[in-house]
Structure formats: C-alpha cells, structure tokens
Structure 1
C-alpha cells in the first residue's frame, strides 16, 4: 500500500533515496488527495526508476533530484478523481492539466515557504516534463529532468525490458515490492477510456485514443471512432489543404 507517512523509504538494492523535503512531502500528499492509491504508487515507482536511471546514465547525472521527484510525483494529476475532477479542464490533454496543476501547486502561497530557490526556470522544467512525459520522441531531446521523467514513467511499464537496458531484475522487484501495483493494470484503461468519453477532442491525436478504440464498447465506441476519423491529424491536415485549393 501507499506509505501512510510522508517519509520516503530507502531502497538499498536500487541505491535510491527519494528526496524527502517539505516540498516533495507536500507534493506526495497532494497527489494522494487528487488521485487514486494505484496512481500514486505508479508515480512513486516511476520516481524510483527515474532516480535509478539518473544514477546510471551519465547524460542525466546533472538532473536536480528534487525537481525530478516533484515532476514525476505529480505527472498524473491530470487523472484527478471524483470531486477533484473539478480542477481539470474540458479542453486540454491530461498531461497539460497535470502540468498546470503542478505549476500552480509549487507556486501556491500556502507552500511558498517550502519553495526557496524555485525560479521560473525550475517551474518551466516541471511543466515541460509533465506535459511531455507521454511524448518521448520530444522529451528525449530536452533537459535531463524532462527526459528522465519520460524515461522513468516508461520504466514502470517496461521494467527490466526498458530500452536503455539499465533496470535490473532485482531493482525492478524491489521497487514493485515497495510500491505495489495494486489494481493499476485494470485502472489504467478505465481512466484513459474515460478521457475519450469526457473530452474526446483531447485524445484523437495521441496514444489515449488508442485506448479508446481498444476499450470502449457499443455506442460510445462508434461515436468515438467517428470523431477520431473526422478529427484525426491526417484528416485535419489533408482536409485543410483541400479546402485551401480554392485560394490557389
């Protein structure tokens, strides 16, 4: 289960010590408030994996651990549940909602005394890292923190099969034992299919739409398929070119 106190456990095999600062502890509490236990554990595992990658991959060694931890802890705030859904937009991708919530959280006056040393650059790193965490082909070419957030989240889905080849079986087992998956595998499709129903226009051009096509059923599926076909990137671009022909 998710640890009941804000102190992060030490992982001796993985040689990971998640930074326990007033700000990271507050971010963990905030994530628990907005998202499910399964999502929180996913974020904690992703933090551990990101820190392992930062230690093992020299190009990312300069990443600030606190900034990295905050970005990974809050990367799925866009999955806010129940009453917390009121904090989400109706027209933005969940990654952008999460990035906005994280930036607002760090800048909130109530925790400003915990955020010493946080300038616009660090805030922008957190925003970019969360907004781009599902777009590794872009994140990989950004700053180390941004790249590591994407790599760390991916590691929770690939484990020892991570494309960098840096997560050992023993490290993987330790991280998952410390922060169990709970019902994450069952919850993930429900969350993403929910986005396809609640705000489909934000899912047509990205991976969330794939979950919609695979997981929705009946009338919801047919409605979504029609919307995706009409509003997919290829349809929009080619349709736009055709519409412009009258001016050429």
Structure 2
C-alpha cells in the first residue's frame, strides 16, 4: 500500500480503492516532508472537525476529506508542476486522476475546490466541511492552534509522520517553482508573496495594474 506502516499506529483513514490509489499517487510524486504533511493534514483536520462538532460520515464525506488532504500538495511535485499557481495545478492533477478512478463528477468538484482553496482560508472556511477542513488541517499542521486536540493525538501523529522541517520544504518547493516560472506567482497570493519575499520585488500599485486597461481611463458609458 505504502512504505509507511500506518496500521501499526492505530490511526484510522479511509481504505477504499480510490483512497488507497490517491495515497499511492501522493507518495510517488511528492517529497517525503510534503507527503507526511499531506497525511497529517487529514489526521489533524478530522480531529479539528470533531472539536468543532463535525462528525465524519454524518456531517461530511470522510473519503472526500481524505482525498482533498492527501492530494492537496501534488501541485508542488514535478508531476503536478504546470503553468498555474501550485494550488490550482494540484487541483487539476487531482481532478484528472480522480475522474480516471471513476469518482463522480460532483465529488471530483468538491476535491478540486478543497485543494484550490486550501491556502485561501477566508473563502475555504465558508464552504462545505470537506473543503473547510482541508484548509483547517493544513493550517494546523503548519502553525498549530488555536484548537486543542485530545491528549496524545498530536504525539501519535508525529511519531508516525515526522515533521522533517516541513515549513522549509514547503517554502523551497513553492519558491523553486516561482523562480523557474514567475507566472506561477500571481500578485497577492501565497506563492506570489513568498516569491516577492524571496526576490525583493515590489507589488504593483493599483495604478500600475490598471494602466494597461483597454478602457484607457475612460468609463464604458463614455466610450
């Protein structure tokens, strides 16, 4: 199934054919730190959901949460490195893969949204639980809190999935992509901000962003 012996940890996760196929895909194409982060995102996201009163299988589809979590960083892999910001590249890769696995289109769309929006929590948290909990789980794994998880759970997850300096690994992966292709760093996005910090470039002003408008400073009505 995977080089990780998750069975020995007692950590539970969906074991459907599509879930195990997604797990293999993530392990094959991601670096080890990002793969561990992707799985921790699920284990933390599910527990954060429980703390918020959300129950797997009743309030949300646990398989969809797992798929969104385990595939949410595939855009930072060589296989997922396309021409768009990494969240969208990863969402596209996941959607194509899951469609080939036979997942219904409506469920594929949920996973696409969860991955594409996972760094934009101000939007993701307003969406359905499968989408919101991918964002919450990913953020919890990087920054911790503010939700407290049951005693011993964090330690058990970290014992099975060591952190391996994941913050640096994520930064290097994102900046590596944007350095090779600055088009993957749109202004005012997470990859764009990390690219700006790395290069020292300044954000364009509103005037600069609108200077090339075809309206040339005129309103549509006057034209």
TM-score between the two structures when normalised by the length of structure 2: 0.85
Partner of 2:7: 9
Partner of 1:115: none
Partner of 2:110: 125
Aligned equivalents of 1:141, 1:246: Cα separation in 2: 34
Q: Deviations over 1:15-65 (max 9, x none)?
A: x51112221111111011211111100101111001112322225651111
Aligned equivalents of 1:77, 1:54: Cα separation in 2: 23
Map 1:162-241; keep pairs closer than 5 Å: 162-163=145-146, 165-168=147-150, 170-203=152-185, 204-214=187-197, 216=198, 221=199, 225=201, 229-230=203-204, 235-237=208-210, 240=213
Aligned equivalents of 2:113, 2:216: Cα separation in 1: 34
Give the drift of 1:154.
0.6
Maintained 8 Å contact 2:90/2:116: yes
- Structure 1 portions without partners, runs of 5+: 113-117
Partner of 1:68: 65
Partner of 1:79: 76
Q: Deviations over 1:89-124 (max 9, x none)?
A: 22x11111111111111111xx44xxxxx3222111
Give the drift of 1:186.
2.6
Please state if 1:41 is matched with 2:36: yes
Please state if 1:158 is matched with 2:143: yes
Partner of 1:244: 217
Name the structure with the higher helix share.
1
Aligned equivalents of 1:229, 1:243: Cα separation in 2: 21
Maintained 8 Å contact 2:37/2:166: yes
Maintained 8 Å contact 2:36/2:161: yes
Maintained 8 Å contact 1:10/1:17: no
Aligned equivalents of 1:246, 1:132: Cα separation in 2: 33
Q: What is the number of residues matched between the two proteins?
A: 218
**Alignment CA distance shift 1:243-1:11 (3 Å):** farther
Give the drift of 1:198.
2.1
Maintained 8 Å contact 1:60/1:148: no
Maintained 8 Å contact 1:18/1:69: yes
The Cα RMSD (Å) is: 2.7
